[in-house]
Structure 1
Amino acid sequence: MNERTGIQRIGILGSGAWGTALAAAVTAAGRQALLWARNPALAQEINNQNGNSVYLPHIALDPSIRATSDAGDLAGIDALLLVVPAQHLRGIASGLNAILPKDLPLVLCCKGIERGSGKLMTEVAAEVLPGRPQAVLSGPTFAAEVAAGLPTAVTLASDDAALATALAEALGNRTFRPYISQDLIGAEVGGAVKNVIAIACGIVQGRALGENARAALITRGLAEIVRLGLAKGGRAETLMGLSGFGDLTLTCTAVQSRNYALGLALGEGANFEDLMSVRLTVAEGVESAAAVTILAKSLNIEMPISRAVNAILHQGADIDAVIGSLLARPFTTE
């Protein structure tokens, strides 16, 4: 690609529900979508049957969407959307460095924080695909609604104004509306931590603690998100927008949210290991809960809700005891 305004061929790394939905949005914008799938059989289904029965059943895909399981086919694209699970980004993307042009724009669409390193997705991508311009796409999005062409607004963040404009023009269509920002960190933090808060909200609903409690969790969860975003160098106003408050609201109030649904099942008494053993799709908040807790400690900031979710998921803490400890915290100013 010689001119960023000429973004026509867009690669999508990851053929789950969100990656497939973004491929649908790309074609609706009049661009060419090349969808990379790890599973050759899934790529074949997308090409031959114009559907993804595993991750987006009952959604008919535009026949112009092409899928491949050969990463080498991505060599000719103008921009790459990275839509693999956050914990797999490093491993999958590291094999692309020799394939992708050094100036290829990368759009981080996965929402999470790397467990172990505590790094944001832009930080991981900068290590394994160095030197390439970056953007972040995040916001309140259910994949099935995007794929069906229902109205959706997202944040598209890049510190390169020309790139952000070109990407917005390439990805945006009548119903998929990108709003441009320069705050990559804020967009990332909002998208990652809201999944952890959504698990907490699900647990509260599963325990039948009421709508007051959920509203309090959303509000205080937003405070945690802002606290972490500012500590990482993001902007508070970003976290009050689509990729912060907007995404948090959606994820914490609908059973369609994988993270909320997981928390709901836990609150109703389901066993965590049993739930994880039968899940087909990834609830990013599970791994992000541990990563957020470690990152918050390293930055010396308080994130009690995130810490509580991590204790329940990864430390075997009793749900009722954790809720009791949260309610026993000292009174303080808002």
Structure 2
Amino acid sequence: MTKIAVLGAGSWGTALANIASENGHDVRLWTHRADQVVEINQQHQNVKYLPDATLTDRLVATNDMLVAVKDVDIVLSVVPTKAVRQVAQQLTKALQELSQKVILAHATKGLEPGTYKRISEMLAEEVPEANRSALVVVSGPSHAEDVIKHDLTAVSIGSSDESAAKLLQLALSNHNFRAYTNHDLLGSELFAALKNIVAIGSGMLIGLGYGANAQAALITRSLVEMRELGLAMGAKESTLYELAGIGDLIVTGMSPNSRNYRAGVALGKGRDLQQVIDDMGMVIEGVSTTKAVYDFSKTYHVNMPITDAIYQALYENKPLREVIKDLMSRPLKSED
């Protein structure tokens, strides 16, 4: 039995905690909300994030960080990008008080606004090496709304520390949920962030009234941009064609369960960006990631016309149909 602390009781954090708990492991789900602790422990529900789900009664929630992480083998952070540092600082304080060292994993898909750092880079800065033995990322095509219903799901667990990745792999895997491992932490995190941009663009097309042809073209040509930027930044090309890359891109780019996709649909129907953000009630990671990747493309001298187009729509208020017309009117070229 592995002891695991999951930090963040949103939809994905709750789903992952539930899986590991159903698998027979000792899981503590940390949230800063006392009412959520009561709801999970007594009613075995998390209605705000997973309204139709009943959680296993083995799962224990707490809002006490010391209780959450005491004697655990793995800490899995699943908080929004904007909360990563704050929660990591609380984690560090607890680990230092307990004189404890853990495998530090995360399942957050985004880049830090302003610094554009990956989640593992943020965690490494906030949690000293004396309190962490490895950095691990969980990524891949995995909507929490489907996972909690035991839909068949496969994910990727990336880390340079193979033994740490395998321990989390064993903790999460069962007949419905299959985890693979890879050694490309950078690529797994980068591609997980990049696909959120594509999901917004895909939703925009549907909101405007376009169909599957347009979606397929967008997703396929976005793969080229993801590959070129990934290679420029040090990712392994093979990661792009596996679960952390194309797998996550397909499910996020075409599913209404994706917040980024739903945001794109609303924007395509003429909604204002700020109104969409306010109405969503949850973080739309792809919006800030678009700004980061737009800047990356200039820094690394990578041509990314689709990313540029989505940036223009989000940050320069350029009309969507004009953006699409410009994309489709570019000089003709070979796919090579």
TM-score by length of 2: 0.94
**Equivalent in the alignment of 2:192:** 191
Cα distance, 1:102 vs. partner? 5.6
Separation of aligned partners in 2, 1:146 and 1:332: 41
Cα 1:221–1:205 shift into 2, 3 Å: same
User: Which residue, 4, 24, 33 being the options, matches 1:39?
Assistant: 33
The answer to whether the 8 A contact 1:74-1:99 is kept is: no
**Equivalent in the alignment of 2:282:** 281
Letter aligned with residue 234 of structure 2: G
Higher relative contact order (CA 8 A, sep 6+): 1
Cα 1:19–1:151 shift into 2, 3 Å: same
Separation of aligned partners in 2, 1:288 and 1:179: 26
**Structure 1: 4+ residue segments shifted above 4 A:** none
**Equivalent in the alignment of 2:87:** 92
The answer to whether the 8 A contact 2:5-2:69 is kept is: no
Measured against aligned partners, the alpha-carbon deviations of 1:276-301 in whole angstroms (never above 9, x if no partner) come to: 11222222111111121122222221
Letter aligned with residue 63 of structure 2: S
Separation of aligned partners in 1, 2:245 and 2:31: 29
Cα distance, 1:331 vs. partner? 2.0
Separation of aligned partners in 2, 1:328 and 1:94: 49
Letter aligned with residue 140 of structure 1: P
Separation of aligned partners in 2, 1:231 and 1:90: 27
**Equivalent in the alignment of 1:53:** 47
**Equivalent in the alignment of 1:3:** none
Separation of aligned partners in 1, 2:318 and 2:89: 36
The answer to whether the 8 A contact 2:75-2:105 is kept is: yes
Separation of aligned partners in 1, 2:332 and 2:319: 23
Cα distance, 1:32 vs. partner? 1.5
Q: What does residue range 1-334 of structure 1 map to in structure 2 within 5 Å?
A: 8-76=2-70, 77-100=72-95, 103-131=101-129, 132=132, 133-334=134-335
Measured against aligned partners, the alpha-carbon deviations of 1:160-195 in whole angstroms (never above 9, x if no partner) come to: 111122221122122111111001111111211111
Q: Single out whichever of 120-129 and 275-284 deviates more from structure 2.
A: 275-284
Separation of aligned partners in 2, 1:248 and 1:164: 22
Separation of aligned partners in 2, 1:284 and 1:238: 21
Cα distance, 1:307 vs. partner? 2.3
Letter aligned with residue 97 of structure 1: T
Separation of aligned partners in 2, 1:88 and 1:299: 28
**Equivalent in the alignment of 1:4:** none
The answer to whether the 8 A contact 2:69-2:75 is kept is: no
Separation of aligned partners in 2, 1:288 and 1:263: 14
* SS of structure 2 residue aligned to 1:98: helix
* SS of structure 2 residue aligned to 1:164: helix
Cα distance, 1:12 vs. partner? 0.7
Separation of aligned partners in 1, 2:55 and 2:164: 28
The answer to whether the 8 A contact 1:112-1:284 is kept is: yes
TM-score by length of 1: 0.94
The answer to whether the 8 A contact 2:191-2:230 is kept is: yes
Q: Single out whichever of 117-126 and 85-94 deviates more from structure 2.
A: 85-94
Measured against aligned partners, the alpha-carbon deviations of 1:104-159 in whole angstroms (never above 9, x if no partner) come to: 11112000111110111111111111322111110001102111222110001111
Separation of aligned partners in 1, 2:150 and 2:211: 33
Percent of aligned positions that are identical: 38
Q: Which runs of 5+ in 1 are unaligned?
A: 1-6
Cα distance, 1:226 vs. partner? 1.4
Cα distance, 1:196 vs. partner? 0.6
The answer to whether the 8 A contact 2:31-2:37 is kept is: yes
